[in-house]
Amino acid sequence: MKKIFFIILYIIMAVFAQDTMWVKTFDHPSDSIFGYIPINFFRIGEEYLLVNYFYGAEMGFYLIEANESGDTVWTKKYTSESAGVFYSGIRSASKTIDNNFVCFSNIALFKFDENGDSIFMQTYEDLIEWGAVVTTTDDGNLIFGGKSPLLSCSIRIVKTDSLGNILLFKDFPAYEPPWGGCYSDIFIEPVNNNNEFLILNGPLVYKCNNDLDTIWTRNYNYWFLGIADAIELADSNYLFVGAPAGIMKVSYSTGNVIDLSLIHISEPTRPLYISYAVFC
């Protein structure tokens, strides 16, 4: 008997009163799923991309695009015989300048068109481990990163063309906490109209250009155990969000800390993130 698995997503569109604007339920039928990883969703412009990884007699993920009102635009199912491809589920997603979607899962890079049809899938098992993030550049190339397969404590950033062909890669020292170990989780935040980007590695931040050259490096461990988000401000400086400091404003050109007077901050809608903040 075919089983119906319900994916329930509560997306709260928060305004100043923090009112819930809508709640949606998404479902997918399957008779071969033994288990699944809870859904990830990504806000991309005015759209949502929802990803649900499953395993059992087959393994893969469902990809769902929803519009700003939460209505389903399309649903696609992708499978693979390789467990390593989907081991951690889809960990990041973004939209390219040619209006397509790119996603990264552990060692695999996926690109889909605006209808969810596959353009390509490339794997990089000898180049990267635990890949976590992917972003697009101003010239249409792709940048992703994760743990370097080297034994040293390092992270690796890889640049490919729009079809996933490797152009170059570079290793960066990863954050080593004072209590020992190596922190290899990263975020990549595109800035300055996608011709530069930030690598967030715990409290360690690298600012790089699209040739992977380092512009500046700063370690903010005096303020943060980890930085979870970087927001580019109207004055081209950055607002870093993390724990335990909360919010910090830093200079675009140097990475130095700028005094920030916070007037109001909303309740977070997800851990370590903010919905809005008012400051001067």
117 C-beta neighbours (distance < 10 Å), count: 10
More confident residue, 238 or 9: 238
CA separation (Å) from 17 to 4, 273, 274, 275, 280? 36, 18, 15, 12, 22
pTM of the model: 0.75
The model's pLDDT over 74-96, given as tens digits with 9 standing for 90+, comes to: 888 877 665 556 555 677 777 88
Q: What is the CA radius of gyration of the chain?
A: 19
The model's pLDDT over 223-261, given as tens digits with 9 standing for 90+, comes to: 667 787 788 888 888 888 877 667 888 998 899 988 765
| Residue from 78, 126, 124 nearest 134 by CA | 124
User: What is the three-class DSSP state of 16?
Assistant: coil
For residues 41 and 50, is the Cβ–Cβ distance under 8 A? yes
Would you put residue 273 in left (φ > 0), alpha (ψ -120 to 50) or beta?
Answer: beta
Give the separation between CA 29 and CA 50, rounded to whole angstroms: 16
| Residue 83 φ then ψ, to 5° | -65, -30
| Residue from 129, 61, 67 nearest 90 by CA | 61
Identify the band that residue 168 occupies on the pLDDT scale cut at 50, 70 and 90.
very high
For residues 123 and 85, is the Cβ–Cβ distance under 8 A? yes
For residues 198 and 207, is the Cβ–Cβ distance under 8 A? yes
| Residue from 210, 209, 200 nearest 230 by CA | 200
| Residue from 277, 208, 267 nearest 240 by CA | 277
Identify the band that residue 172 occupies on the pLDDT scale cut at 50, 70 and 90.
very high
263 C-beta neighbours (distance < 10 Å), count: 8
Strands (DSSP E) found in 148-237 = 154-160, 166-173, 187-191, 196-201, 204-209, 214-219, 224-232
The model's pLDDT over 46-76, given as tens digits with 9 standing for 90+, comes to: 777 777 766 666 777 777 888 888 888 888 8
| Residue 90 φ then ψ, to 5° | -75, 120
